[in-house]
Amino acid sequence: MSDLQYPQENGSQNKIHDGNTAESLKNHPLYLAEQYVSGTITDEELTVFLALLEKNEDFARHVRKNMFVDFLLHEKYKLADTLQKAEKEEKEEAGGSIEDLEKLLDDLVAYEKTAIPCPVPIIQTEEKKKENPFIVFLKKGIPGQKRIITEERKHTKGSNLLFILSFTLLIVLCTGLTIDHYLDQKRNSPVSFSGIAQIEEMIDAVWKPGSEIYKRNQYLETNKLDLQSGTVKIRFKNEAQLILEGPSECVINGSKSLYCNHGSLSASISKEANGFSIITPFATFTDRGTEFAVNVDAKTSRLDMIKGSADVFSAEKMPPLNIKAGSAALVDLARKPEIKPCLESNYISSESFFSRLEHWVKKKQEEENAEFLQRKKDPSLLVYLNFNEGVRNRIPNLSEQGYSLMKEAQIMGCATDKGRYYSTNSVRFRNRRDLISLGLTGSWRNLTLIATVRLDVLRSNGNVLFADKQYVSEPSTFLWQILNDGRIRFQLHGKSKTSDTQFEYFDSQVAFTSRQLGTWSQLAVVADSDRKRISHYLDGKLLGSSPWNNPQLLKVIGATLGNVQDFDRGVASRYFGGTIEDFSFYDRALAPEELKKISKP
């Protein structure tokens, strides 16, 4: 793939050529990766590297494969250390065996043999040509396997293996961090889509009972929208924008087509979306301009043209009727368009919508502030963080009863982001080491944990919400996370009566799919030792409940939000991929009606 292209500052497309010049090395992906991991990459270099990943799917797929290689290497060294330690202490049970280690090695070898060739061009000098050692590593497998060593490289076999391994681990690490950063930027970009359209904003939206319920920021494909009341703003990938008012029933047919069975909508169509059609039971309105409104009831379909023009198709054998700005077309059961004066009162402008939205947000915040003042009186609320207050990276615990137990939390590496509303803040987890450290210790019979989150990616190792640093080694400690298949898990360190495993797992139904990524959700887990159940909730609704056959005290030694690390190596094995707006910790089991009352869908 020596013709790999990438954008330059002047907008031209240049190839990464074979000559080993300063300019070619400056924009070489391996050089950019090294700059990134060393923390010396410039904004211009980062732009080139991210653009390279975005334009070359093979390279992005290659990086994703090597992230899995990194995981297997980490597991291999972790198990090897455990076995070595057990051998020194002459322990019989080391949590693993030589067979386990050999299986990991076999998996790694098999995986690397299937890895695609590195799409990064081979660096060549004018005097001699050398194969990229990163490609050699992928072709030849793990350290310890036979490698081809050229006559040109004056090294011993052992030093050559060490060099290749070190170089490879460096590239795997930096590409893993870079792809996380790239995906994070792409997810938060206003032009990034994983569907045909996206629900951009909602005001008092109530969806018809029995129909699908949508959230702000949710991506849409060919979806049916059955809005009972409220207002919803939808943005298409081609920048067409619709404002839908309830009661309305619509179906998205494609990137330039929507069927409206009944209801009212306003449309602002971009140049890229020219030809966008609104299909109704009595007529089809095809945009040839910029802004219009459509109203559909049981007997008529009406188009009010604000700016530009539109074609009205009412009957098969009738030619289309072109409607100009300032006019309207009314089509009834007879399918004969009647020209009317335009009623601008039927059209909701963007300015009018955002004025309504601003008023609605202010009202919602006032309601939530009043609700929190009531919650603060609850003596069981030990921790409450909302990230709107604090100095630098220290966030106070807003719970009056729990302040003596935990005064503040410390944010480490996270970025400040906007919350669900324009005037609220949240923290975004971008890298492997990002976390929030809670100075919380104690033991409790019952617990309720609540977090308002926006999940951006379903990580392969899971997305940690709350964890104790010692959950692997200390009995009664626990971990709360979102699994890679979208289920929520409460993982307790303590042997189950029904199995010999070290942990007990309490899982919910699937809460997140790719369509829910980027939307705000309130998650809650309730550990109730009195009723011997552990239950999960999503936006105040029960998501799943499991029997807790062996209740025990729940212990917190050193708690973190958004991350859990192997602190012996300083490597994050599971970390959150998204944003957290607030977090609550109760030392009792909240009732379902209480969770529904404080839910924030």
pLDDT at 56 (0 to 100):
64
pLDDT at 355 (0 to 100):
92
For residue 499, pLDDT over 70 is answered with no
For residue 13, pLDDT over 90 is answered with no
Region label for 144, one of left (φ > 0), alpha (ψ between -120 and 50) or beta (otherwise): left
Q: How far apart are CA 525 and CA 336, in angstroms?
A: 59
pLDDT tens string 343-357: 999 999 999 999 999
Q: How far apart are CA 585 and CA 441, in angstroms?
A: 12
pLDDT at 377 (0 to 100):
83
Q: Which residues pair with 490 in a beta bridge?
A: 480, 506
3-class DSSP state of 116: coil
Mean pLDDT to the nearest integer, 314-323: 84
Mean pLDDT to the nearest integer, 99-105: 57
pLDDT tens string 107-116: 555 544 444 4
For residue 526, pLDDT over 60 is answered with yes
3-class DSSP state of 156: coil
pLDDT at 241 (0 to 100):
95
User: Which of 112-126, 134-148, 351-365 holds the top average pLDDT?
Assistant: 351-365
Q: Per-residue confidence at 154, pLDDT binned at 50, 70, 90? A: very low
Q: Which residue has the tokens 């409607």?
A: 323
Residues 6 or more apart whose CB falls under 8 angstroms from that of 441 comprise 556, 557, 558
Q: Per-residue confidence at 12, pLDDT binned at 50, 70, 90? A: very low
Does residue 406 contact residue 397 with C-beta atoms inside 8 Å?
yes
pLDDT at 181 (0 to 100):
45
Cα separations in angstroms, 411 against 17, 128, 201, 382, 395: 44, 51, 29, 19, 8
User: Which of 192-201, 257-266, 455-464, 506-515 holds the top average pLDDT?
Assistant: 257-266
Beta strands 487-493; 257-268: pairing state: unpaired
The structure tokens listed for 237 are: 């990938």
pLDDT at 225 (0 to 100):
95
Q: Which of 140-144, 301-305, 537-541, 556-560 has the lowest mean pLDDT?
A: 140-144
Q: Which of 35-39, 72-76, 308-312, 482-486 has the lowest mean pLDDT?
A: 35-39
- ∠ Cα 315 316 321 (to 5°): 55
What are φ and ψ of residue 374, in 5° steps? -75, -40
Does residue 226 contact residue 207 with C-beta atoms inside 8 Å?
yes
The verdict on pTM exceeding 0.75 is no
The structure tokens listed for 216 are: 């702000």
3-class DSSP state of 43: helix
Instruction: Count CA atoms within 13 Å of residue 548 on its CB side.
Output: 25
Average confidence score pLDDT of the chain: 76
What are φ and ψ of residue 373, in 5° steps? -60, -35
Residues 6 or more apart whose CB falls under 8 angstroms from that of 45 comprise 26, 27, 32, 35, 36
Q: Per-residue confidence at 105, pLDDT binned at 50, 70, 90? A: low
pLDDT at 558 (0 to 100):
87
Q: Which residue has the tokens 């998996």?
A: 107
pLDDT tens string 564-586: 865 444 444 578 989 999 999 99
Best CA proximity match to 342, nearest among 307, 385, 375: 307
Q: Which residues pair with 585 in a beta bridge?
A: 383, 449
For residue 24, pLDDT over 50 is answered with no
pLDDT at 7 (0 to 100):
33
Mean pLDDT to the nearest integer, 331-347: 91
For residue 384, pLDDT over 50 is answered with yes
Q: How far apart are CA 526 and CA 532, in angstroms?
A: 11
pLDDT at 502 (0 to 100):
78
